[in-house]
Every structure is written in C-alpha cells, then in structure tokens.
Amino acid sequence: MDLSDFPGFFLSRFPDLVGHRVLVALSGGPDSVALLHLLRDPTLRLKLEAAHVHHQVRGDEADRDATFCRDLCQALGIPFHLERVSPPPHPDEGREGVWRRLRYEALKGIAGRIGADAIATAHQRDDVAEGVLVQLLRGAGPRALAGIAERTPDNVIRPLLPWGRGDILRWLFEREIPWREDSSNRSEEHLRNVVRNRLLPALEEVSPAIRKHLVQLAGALAADEAYLGSRLHGSDLWIDPWDPDGGVPVERIAVLHPALRVRWLHAQVARAGLGRATQRQAKALGQLLDSEGAGAVTLAGRWVLHAVRGRLWLEPPVLPGPYSVTISPGEEVALPLPGWSIRIREATAPEDPSARWRHRVPRAVPVTVRSPKPDDTVTDKRGPHRLSRLLAARLPRHLRRSWPLVTVGDTIVWVPGVWESDFQRISGDATMEVLHR
C-alpha cells in the first residue's frame, strides 16, 4: 500500500476521530515528521497540535531537535508544545523503559490539558519487526511479542503501522521534506539499534522476507491476546486496592486456564498503573494459586499481590499518613484513600444512591473525620471494643491505618462499613455519607 492511500486508511480505521483534536508526538525524525504532514490532509479535518518531549540527555543535539520541531510547527501553523522530562540516572526499569514511560506520561498530560481526543505516534511496520526480535532476545512472552497496538484503550493511535521505513523515506524525499537524524540511533548501547543495524540485515541475507514474517507473527499473537482479553472483558475479577470489598476470591482466579491466569495478571497490573508483569511474576502467581493461596507476588514499584483469608489483594508500598479534618453540613471532603470522599447533608435532603454508607450525626456539633489511633476504643450496647480488632476483622491490612472514623467531640460515633454508635444513629439530625467514585 502506497502512502498516497493514507487518508483513506485513516478514514477507515479511525472514523471517530475525523474533525477532532489530535496531538502528534513529534520527535523530529522522519517517521514523526511524515505523520505530521500526512495528518494535515484536508479530508481528515483534524485539529492538529504537536508535542516534543525533551529527555535532556543528548545536549545540544537534543536542543536542536526541539528547535527544529518548533520551527516546523510554526511554518505549518500547528500549535506546538515542548515538555522537558528528567529521567533518573539509574532507573530500576532500564533506561529505555523509563524514557518511554516518561514520554507517554508527558504526552498524556499535554493531551489532557488541551482536550485532545487522541495521541498519534509514528510507529511503523519496521518498528514492529524490530520489536519482536528485541523481545525475543530479552526472553519475553507472547504478550510482549504481540507487537504494537494500532489503538490503545486510552486512545494512543499508530496510523503508520501498514508502512515501512523505506516507504516513509521515499515519500519524504519525493516532497523534499527535511527531518532530523538522532545520532543515538547509531549507538550500539541500545539493543534495538543492534537489532536494526546488524541483526535484521544479517537475517535478511538468509530470509529476505524476515521483516514480513516477524510482523505476521506479531499479528497472530496479537489476535490470540485479543481473544484471551475478550474472555476476561466485563468480568468482575479486578482488584480495587482501596475498597474494603475490593479483593478477588482466590478460587475464581485459580480455576482459570493457565493462559487466562497470565492474561489476568497482565491486565490487573496494567489497571493498577504498574506497567507490565514479568514471566517471573506470572510463575509466582501460579505457585501462589497452586499452593491454595499462600504466599505473595512482588510487582513493579514494590506493590504486592498477596492472599489473605481466601482473597487476593493488591497492597501499595506507601500508605496515606495520619489525618484529621473537621467537616460541616453541606461540605464534601476528599479522603486520602484514592476515590473516596465524605460529606454531610441535611437529613431531609434526598438520599444519594451512589453513597456507599450513611450515618446520622448532630447538625450543630463539630464533626471530625480522622484516621485510627492504636488505642482507639468504641462503645455500644454490647460494651467497649478495641477498634483495632474490629478493623482487622473487616479490612485488609493496608487499609486499617488510614480508614476514616468519625468523632463528635472525643467520642467515636461511626467507622464506615465497620461499626456505628446505636445512640448517634438514632439521634442525629444530619446525614453523613461516604462515596466511592
């Protein structure tokens, strides 16, 4: 397929984006420069903006790349955004991995600020072939070998995947469109460059169609991955780390086919924003499930997947610190637990069906929401109780130190989902609600 077919291809694959705002990831290299020009086709009616992510690792050359991108956008009348990121000197996930992560975080931040409907990156067919070999050399599994998705759930699109590097360079030469060459693409410190500059050319001497075969392999594996993903789509097998009911029964994952177990782990890790699961972690999950839920799996960022009382939980490495806030009628306060808030409304106001828990509190007396203390006790008609024991019986370990409790004066009157005062439940003249969004 010739690049002259690009507008028709885009219209067929991304019809929902026609006439909408698209942010183009612009490095200054031939692929991204070609993509920017191609997306300007008037039949697409796109509201284009471009972003250049400056990694601050190549000195003056990187500055010249940024200037080139800015000048190009100015000449084309396209709004330009420059984002500088600072990768850590010794990242745990590898230099290329951390650059990629920071780049996408920057692009998504810009897209959010400008209201872009999609982010377009310039990945092309040769990137897929090279990526398959890179992942093979790293010992990756089928999911990593499945290549680069044409469209991701968060609307990152790759419209150039049907074309190779040679197609793109010819298109640019014919139109005398300049671009920038990144000198780091020649450095053999990066495995991808070794694959691109040495390994693939050597393989082509033996199998001239090797690039085509690698792309076909990636496509076949991607189809398998899509099928496995569809088997999990719409299920309620996902852990919410911040919900006391957010664990998943161990047996529901244990009964899955081993291939679906691995797919579940990858999807769960992605949902938690932890990147990709490794083969080692997938093997550890199998051992955890086969041992009837004993043990734990350490994931990226020191998150831990572990089993407690027959349920799988995700435990974060850092927990919210102590807190205390006074809340008044008509006010809603965000809790340190992601997604949770608490508010007080008039008792006569209509109940909000989205509220997880509600409790009556006095309207004219200050009400405080705070985290538990080690010596907290509560008292009801059955007598006094140590709050720590009540929390341990109801909540996973990582929620106990930061779960909200409500006090009137020095008296604890409510611990949402755990305990409530009989007297205050009857006598309060306002309603406190806990919401999870």
- Hey, which residues does 324 pair with through a beta bridge? 370
Range name among 129-143, 287-301, 394-408 with the lowest pLDDT average: 287-301
Residue 233 binned pLDDT confidence (cut-offs 50, 70, 90)? confident
57 and 164 belong to one structural domain: yes
Same domain for 79 and 183, yes or no, is: yes
| 402 domain residue, yes or no | yes
Q: What pLDDT, on a 0 to 100 scale, did the predictor assign at position 313?
A: 94
The per-residue pLDDT for 29 is 95
Asked if residue 234 belongs to a domain, the reply is: no
d(CA 265, CA 270): 8
What range does the domain containing 393 cover? Answer: 324-436
At residue 293, the pLDDT reads: 56
| Residue 232 domain flag | no
Last residue of a domain, one of 290, 315, 340: 315
Would residue 75 count as lying in a domain? yes
Across the range 324-342, mean pLDDT stands at 92
Q: Of 315, 347, 380, which residue is a domain's last?
A: 315
Confidence of residue 299 (pLDDT cuts 50, 70, 90): very high
Same domain, 101 and 186: yes
Q: Are residues 138 and 259 in the same domain?
A: no
Closest CA to 165 of 208, 120, 123, 215: 123
Q: How many residues does the chain have?
A: 437
Lowest mean pLDDT among 1-5, 140-144, 382-386: 140-144
Are both 11 and 159 inside the same structural domain?
yes
Q: 278 and 353 in one domain?
A: no
Comparison of pLDDT for 427 and 63, the residue scoring more? 63
For 17, list phi and psi in degrees, rounded to 5.
-95, -10
Q: Does 357 share its domain with 392?
A: yes
Residues 271 and 375 in one domain: no
State the pLDDT confidence band at 292, using cuts at 50, 70 and 90. Answer: low
Local confidence band at 67 (pLDDT 50, 70, 90 cut-offs): very high
Which of 55-64, 94-103, 259-268, 416-425 is modeled with the greatest confidence?
A: 259-268
Does residue 189 fall inside a structural domain? yes
In a domain, 177, yes or no: yes
- Look at the block and give the residue holding tokens 């509560």: 378
- At 424, the pLDDT band (50, 70, 90 cuts) reads low
CA nearest to 143, candidates 228, 231, 212: 228
> Are 330 and 311 within one domain?
no
- Which pLDDT value is given to residue 95? 64
Other beta carbons within 10 angstroms of residue 322's beta carbon come to 11
> What CA–CA distance (Å, rounded) separates 140 from 154?
24
* Mean pLDDT for the stretch of residues 188-205: 90
Structural domain includes residue 308 = yes
Query: pTM here?
Result: 0.70
For the residues 235-258, what does the mean pLDDT come to? 91
Residues 264, 160 share a domain: no
Same domain, 334 and 259: no
Task: Write the CB contacts of 1 (distance below 8 Å, at least 6 apart in sequence).
Answer: 9, 162, 163
Cα(42)–Cα(223) distance, integer angstroms? 33
CA dihedral 291→295→298→302, nearest 10 degrees, is 160
The pLDDT confidence band at residue 112, using thresholds 50, 70 and 90, is very high
End-of-domain residue from the set 227, 250, 285: 227
Q: How many CB atoms lie within 10 A of CB 227?
A: 11
**Highest mean pLDDT, choosing among 171-180, 227-236, 361-370:** 171-180
| Tokens, residue 236 | 């309620």
